[in-house]
Amino acid sequence: MPPEEPAYPHPPGAHLLLVDEKDRQYLIQVPDPALKVRLKGELLDHPTLASLHDGELLVTPQRHHYLAFVPTLEQVVMNMPRQAQVIFPKDLALLLFYGDVAPGMTVIEVGTGHGALTMALLRALGPEGRLVSFDLRRDHLNRTKKNVATYLGEEFLERWEPVMANPVEEGFGQYTCDRMFSDIPEPWDLMQAAAEAIEPGGIWAAYSPTAMQLMRQMEALQNERAFCLPSSFEAMQRYWQVRPPSVRPSHAMRGHTGFIVLGRRRWLPPRPE
């Protein structure tokens, strides 16, 4: 009988984050046993990568040094392949917190892109939550589905429903939600559909890159009777270099990436017949 394959911590297809001596990050997949991964001019085989423990130091045959970790969602978002800009983790964290997402809720998302917000929402909603994502483009939904399955796991797809439709023109149909998140150029066009879909007390968080979009969305919320408590803000993220005796801010920072505009759904008495 052939010898049994040793039990490794990471199966083929699992993702690892390797961090080199200059803190550069490399998101890689553990290959099949017969294959290898090329990284910085050398090939790393299956046993080398599959056997790494979380936080272990890897010294390669060419004497490159890497710290190996199971990647966090922030590291996945910033290192996964993409053709367009994603919502930065600093904004994702604020969207989840100010959108008050909790396990078991039902959430509607409008505009998926590469799925960064989709993955963050699915993680926050937990096994009992439900996420319905609307997008006009099939390729966006397909890419998001692939990223969810690849980086979170196939089981997360069981509580995610992709819908290819235009809610601006068609509304949300039978779907209602506790929270709504949108990342589209003209979120104010969703105003009527959002008012019908969001339950009283619910929150709509719109992510908009430009000041003109911020202004239009705030005006639309202020003029819509179904919404109240409109607010808007952005977040700047500045890292610090701490190498005593030198302690100073980093030369680079993550400045403006987008505005977060919030509105709260009011309860309104039924209209008289």
The pLDDT of 15-35, averaged and rounded, is 94
pLDDT of the residue at 269: 86
User: Closest Cα to residue 125, out of 163, 94, 156, 148?
Assistant: 156
DSSP-assigned letter for residue 273? -
Residue for token digits 């001019």?
41
pLDDT of the residue at 163: 96
Residue 58 has pLDDT above 60, yes or no: yes
pLDDT in tens, 112-135: 988 999 999 999 999 999 999 999
Question: pLDDT-based confidence at 6, cuts 50/70/90?
Answer: low
Segment (H or E) for 262: strand 259-265
Q: Distance between CA 145 and CA 158 in Å, rounded? A: 11
239 CB burial (10 A radius; 0-12, 13-18, 19+): exposed
The total of other beta-carbon atoms located within 10 Å of residue 178's CB is: 22
Q: Which string of b and e fits 29-56 if b means at least 16 CB within 10 Å?
A: ebbeeeeebebeeeebebebbbbbeeee
**First vs last Cα of the chain: how many Å apart?**
80
Q: Distance between CA 219 and CA 23 in Å, rounded? A: 44
Q: Distance between CA 101 and CA 245 in Å, rounded? A: 42
Question: pLDDT-based confidence at 4, cuts 50/70/90?
Answer: low
Residues 149, 135: contact at Cβ < 8 Å? Answer: no
Q: Distance between CA 55 and CA 62 in Å, rounded? A: 20
The pLDDT of 14-43, averaged and rounded, is 94
pLDDT of the residue at 251: 86
pLDDT of the residue at 272: 73
pLDDT of the residue at 101: 98
pLDDT of the residue at 271: 75
Q: What is the mean pLDDT of the chain?
A: 93
Segment (H or E) for 43: strand 42-45
- pTM for this entry: 0.91
Residue 3 has pLDDT above 70, yes or no: no
Domains of the chain with bracketed CATH: 15-71 (3.10.330.20), 75-239+250-265 (3.40.50.150)
pLDDT in tens, 73-127: 999 999 998 877 889 999 999 999 999 999 999 999 999 988 999 999 999 999 9
Task: List residues bridging with 135 in a β-sheet.
Answer: 164
Question: Residue 153 region, left (φ>0) first, then alpha (ψ -120 to 50), else beta?
Answer: left
The pLDDT of 172-192, averaged and rounded, is 96
